Amino acid sequence: TMNGLAHARKAGKHIGRRRALSPQQRAEIIERVESGQGSPAQLASLFRVSRSTVQRVLREDGAWTWQAI
């Protein structure tokens, strides 16, 4: 209910789906792409997530553009 969600937000609880990758995994993906150690597709397979998840991580960090791949 809306009251339950408001109470949870007020208590500082996370609302919604868990992230597929931890902050450490996100940092590792960014580092590997920047050093040329894998494509988004290869890293997606390695971390067992979709290619679009890897691309979203890179786009949010600003480490990836279409020209970089």
13-62 pLDDT, tens digit per residue, is 888 888 899 999 999 999 999 899 999 999 999 999 999 999 999 998 88
Q: What is the pLDDT of residue 61?
A: 85
> Cα–Cα distance between 32 and 68 in angstroms, integer?
13
pLDDT of residue 66 exceeding 60, the answer is no
pLDDT of residue 68 exceeding 60, the answer is no
Q: What is the pLDDT of residue 17?
A: 87
Q: What is the pLDDT of residue 64?
A: 65
Q: What is the pLDDT of residue 25?
A: 96
Amino acid identity of residue 34, one-letter, is E
CB-based contacts of 68, cutoff 8 Å, min separation 6:
33
